[in-house]
Structure 1
């Protein structure tokens, strides 16, 4: 299991420290194809594509809502994975796919835990209406809820 890369530089302060650096592993005559590189920082996911013309796409980790991993038979033989990040409101679309990368499970776990940590640091929440209650007393069923985050359920406070 490789050690994560930790770089520290003043130019990286907005993204945080570089934790993982991966390249698409599909090779054609020893050349990485389709020339895609992934850089995962503490706060940012960067996808760099191209050979002559580069396209760099950044996504804040707090926007990643969920992560899935897929391994085909051929990928399992070569120790590779494809990670799909489901992203909320990003210019790159609703998914970012990291294809044919090594250490897929470790990167997936890092993305999941770090995206949650980034949301907590930024005090950003994803809202999903899981149970809609209609009527004037729709908060009556909220037992044990701590909306002000002081550690005490709101029903016990006056």
Structure 2
């Protein structure tokens, strides 16, 4: 599924790659949290009466960790713990979701693709404090 988005006066199409709801007891999608992965961003929409929607640009995601307890593995779900350079969502959890390993791989591939498109290197996300520490040691 594709959608047209308008950004800075330009129109572009965005392709939806994956969508799922947060899984609760027994791996059932009885939740008011929905995850949508497009080729440029991850959208986390939560709430029933009061709705909150977080949008994380993929190139800002710096780390993805997969975790699943024995109980979660029994029901085919897992969680993705993500770190990002986004100010509103520095650490966030996607899940529990079905096929978390496949989603992690899909997310990781698209993060790399977006970084290549925007010509962003990983070290641009880290602050200069590491350089300052190196200067002190010399």
1:73 and 1:15 mapped to 2: Cα distance? 40
Bigger CA drift: 83-92 or 38-47? 83-92
Unpaired runs of 5+ residues, structure 2, are none
1:66 and 1:125 mapped to 2: Cα distance? 13
TM norm structure 1: 0.69
1:55 partnered with 2:52: yes
Size of the aligned set, in residue pairs, is 124
1:95 partnered with 2:91: yes
Q: What is the deviation of 1:89?
A: 3.3
Contact kept in structure 2, 1:15 and 1:43, CA below 8 Å = no
Higher share in helix? 2
1:110 and 1:18 mapped to 2: Cα distance? 12
Q: What is the deviation of 1:27?
A: 4.6
- Out of 94, 100, 110, the position equivalent to 2:106 is 110
Contact kept in structure 1, 2:19 and 2:35, CA below 8 Å = yes
Larger CA Rg, structure 1 vs 2: 1
Q: What is the deviation of 1:11?
A: 3.8
Q: What is the deviation of 1:133?
A: 7.1
Higher share in strand? 2
Q: Which aligned segments of 4 or more residues in structure 1 are displaced greater than 6 angstroms?
A: none
Unpaired runs of 5+ residues, structure 1, are 1-6, 135-158
Larger relative contact order (Cα-Cα within 8 Å, sequence gap ≥ 6): 2
